[in-house]
Chains A and B, each alone.
Chain A
Amino acid sequence: AQSVTQLDSHVSVSEGTPVLLRCNYSSSYSPSLFWYVQHPNKGLQLLLKYTSAATLVKGINGFEAEFKKSETSFHLTKPSAHMSDAAEYFCVVSPQGNYGQNFVFGPGTRLSVLP
């Protein structure tokens, strides 16, 4: 069985300050892990993914995440927040090389960026 916990339902940061969105997972398999972002009235966009290569994964728009197996974590970070980063972020787990198995989503973290 797999599950995802996103420890913060809402995170608020000032523009130009670092962003940290936390994600912990539970998986019976070696997982693939993803971060997706949903801007208002838009679809889910893939930010980055981990699939057993480098543990530090770089994504789009300056985001990165580090896979820590010992902590079962996959936290999302960005050095400097931009107003356009305001959105909802979802951590997702799937069996590695899942051959089409379904995703398990975390509850989401809403990021607000203050001017």
Chain B
Amino acid sequence: EAGVTQFPSHSVIEKGQTVTLRCDPISGHDNLYWYRRVMGKEIKFLLHFVKESKQDESGMPNNRFLAERTGGTYSTLKVQPAELEDSGVYFCASSPLGWTDTQYFGPGTRLTVL
């Protein structure tokens, strides 16, 4: 069974540009989460999808961040326009619905904003 995959693995952009990160969850997992780790700090929750619906987006830092999950499969996280403080590693995780608590993480996308 394939794990959670993320694309790209690295992205280097200039301030003001747009970047789109993609996450493919484990097949059949309806829960999908985005987290990020900025500047060596704690990994912080960004948002949570259940299928195609946003269940909790309380961790999204501002309106420059837009997450979508069309059809309840893969998800994208767009940053527009990117700022220096957006640099960090963005992790995606997925889990099945129901009585479960383990989340399965992807390798992350390292974003560098110059």
Residues of A within 8 A of B (CB): 32, 34, 36, 41-46, 49, 51, 90, 94, 96-108
Contact = CB atoms under 8 A, between A and B. Distances in A.
Interface residues of B, number: 30
B85 interface: no
Contact of A43 (B42, B55, B101, B105): B105
Contacts of B88: none
Given A97-B99, A97-B101, 14 more contacts: A41-B107, A42-B107, A43-B3, A43-B105, A43-B106, A43-B108, A44-B91, A44-B108, A45-B105, A101-B56, A102-B33, A103-B93, A107-B42, A108-B42
5 contacts: A43-B3, A49-B102, A100-B31, A100-B100, A105-B44
Nearest to A32: B101
A100 B97 contact: yes
Contacts of B93: 44, 103
